[in-house]
Amino acid sequence: MKSYDLSGSMVRRRGRSTSKSLAKFAVAALIFTLLPWAMPGANAASLTSRMFDLSAPAVERIKDKPLHNGTVMQSFAFDNVNRHIYAIQLMAGGQQLPGEAAPVSGSARDAAGDLVLTRLDSTGSELGHMVLKGFGHGVQIGVETVGAKAYLWTETDAVTEGSSGWGTQIARFPFENGKVLTPASPELRKFRLVEGADRTTVNIDEANGLLTMRYRLNGSFRFGVYDLESVKRGEYTPLADVPQPMVGTFQGFASYGDYLYLLEGNSYGSPGSSPPAGNTYLTAVDLNTGAVKDKQLVSAGSSMTFREPEGLAISFGNPCKPGKAELNIGFASDFTPKRLANIFYLDRLLPEAALVKGHVPYK
């Protein structure tokens, strides 16, 4: 993977080694052994990933599962070791937390960036929750697993723009059931990777020891890719930095090795989104160059009455297909005040020859 400065100009890539982090973190070692291209003793810097086939049919993972609140799921991420799913949503109106004088409306929660994080088991049943006051909009989150403990990566320090609160930096904190956190909570460790950036959201690629942050700078959205362990040491030199290509309504992202995947679309009934086709698209971006490699219409969940795309995430360890990486797509279904969560996944990778020869299906 080459490296880019914030203007998009290529710069010399610095070498990195994640073999030490693989030894320190059990989850990375476990996932690394699942990768189909992993060689004994290799480190993540030597890996060359393949791209998901975005035209492959998606398989249902969970369907119509309630989260802790009845609002729309904004995004989700996987603890691949402990087989948990974490989903985040805007906090529902009418709730009163400790220290609040009265119940707070949903619009006020949205403007403040108040979120609810739900932990689910692998079947989508709730196991616990947290409240994140003043964090942001929850467009995308990440999970880093250390043994039996899950650390969430989210946006934080929300600033109101329009009717919603949006994060201005990213944070890492452990999941603690029932906990209420604010940006000032001591459990948080914050990271300002790009000075002057806002609309910060984050994804963790544990298989390759990478953190990807989407951010807005000078009015434009970009994606910066960093070595995860370096970020935690306070070293913020990007391994790659690419502009966001033109997309419709942005709904989430996930990175996996050399590729970035973007989700866009609107719920049925919105302009340009009519059942059964809708307007949900997946886009694949080469992080070496910033070039769009593929874009495909997503048909998963087309029978839903309400269907809004919400979040992307990479998972591993499906018992039915051990060793397979999966690109997961989220959708919200049903109606207010009881929106439900749905996840579908793709697991077919394109052969390297298809990418080399340019035979990627593009529709």
For residue 233, pLDDT beyond 50: yes
Q: For residue 266, which of 249, 253, 254, 282 has the smallest C-alpha distance?
A: 249
For residue 3, pLDDT beyond 80: no
What is the greatest pairwise CA distance in the chain? Answer: 63
For residue 26, pLDDT beyond 60: no
Q: Give the residue-averaged pLDDT of 304-308.
A: 96
Sorting pLDDT into bands at 50, 70 and 90, what band is 173? Answer: very high
Q: Give the residue-averaged pLDDT of 290-313.
A: 97
At residue 353, the pLDDT reads 53
Q: Do residues 109 and 44 touch, judged by C-beta distance below 8 A?
A: no
Q: Give the residue-averaged pLDDT of 239-267.
A: 97
Q: Could you give the count of Cα atoms lying within 13 Å of 202 in the half-sphere of its Cβ?
A: 31
At residue 351, the pLDDT reads 84
For residue 45, pLDDT beyond 50: no
For residue 31, pLDDT beyond 70: no
What pTM value is reported for the model?
0.86
Instruction: Sort strands 180-181 and 126-132 into parallel, antiparallel or unpaired.
Output: parallel
- Give the pLDDT confidence of 238-252 residue by residue, as tens digits: 999 999 999 999 999
How far apart CA 158 and CA 142 sit, in angstroms, is: 18
